[in-house]
Amino acid sequence: MAADRESGALFPVRYNDKYYADALASGEFTKLAYYSDICVGAIACRIEKKEGGGVCVYIMTLGVLAPYRGLGIGSKLLNHVIDLSMKQNVSEIYLHVQTNNEDAINFYKKFGFEITATIQNYYTNITPPDCYVVTKLISQPQAKK
């Protein structure tokens, strides 16, 4: 599967079949980014139902190959998901970020995400094992009267 090959180049972990099934089921919330016909980045999301109704988007992965970072590719991928969320009545977007990943934390903060929780020992095979839950609440456009 092409997505399997691409995620292996972007992320230092292997994902199970459910990851790919969730990513494919999310439709437009999962995108690959190409630069001169080379796949250089990806965002993969999962749509989740919230308790009490409503829908949120969980960003499973967002990554850009190192030589292509700083070109706005990650920003375009994230903006795509934010814009789509606003159009599709999504109430929030969230993800997990390793606590020592300052670059990722600062990247998401630029887009209005906030650290909303810390989970101890979230990761089993990487150090540090702790993560932050990083969340962006989505304000829906008001209906015209």
Residue extents of the structural domains in the chain: 6-98
| Integer CA distances (angstroms), 58 to 19, 68, 74, 90, 127, in order | 12, 24, 16, 11, 22
Sign of the CA dihedral running 142, 96, 26, 65:
positive
CB atoms inside a 10 Å sphere around CB 119: 13
CATH number for region 6-98: 3.40.630.30
Q: Which residue in the list 15, 20, 58, 68 is annotated as catalytic?
A: 58
* Summary mean pLDDT of the chain: 84
Q: How many CB atoms lie within 10 A of CB 107?
A: 17
CA distance 28 to 17: 19
The active-site residue out of 15, 20, 68, 96 is: 96
The verdict on whether 80 is a catalytic residue reads: no
Catalytic: 58? Answer: yes
Burial of 4-24, coded b for 16+ CB within 10 Å and e otherwise, reads: eebbeebeeeebeeebbebbe
* Residue 36 scores a pLDDT above 70: yes
Q: Look at 14-18, 59-63, 101-105, 125-129 and tell me which has the smallest mean pLDDT.
A: 14-18
Q: Indicate if the pLDDT at residue 14 is higher than 60.
A: no
For CA atoms 35, 17, 96, 56, the dihedral sign is positive
Q: Say how far apart CA 137 and CA 93 lie, in whole Å.
A: 7
Quick: pLDDT tens for 68-127. Answer: 999 999 999 999 999 999 999 899 999 999 999 999 999 999 999 999 999 999 999 899
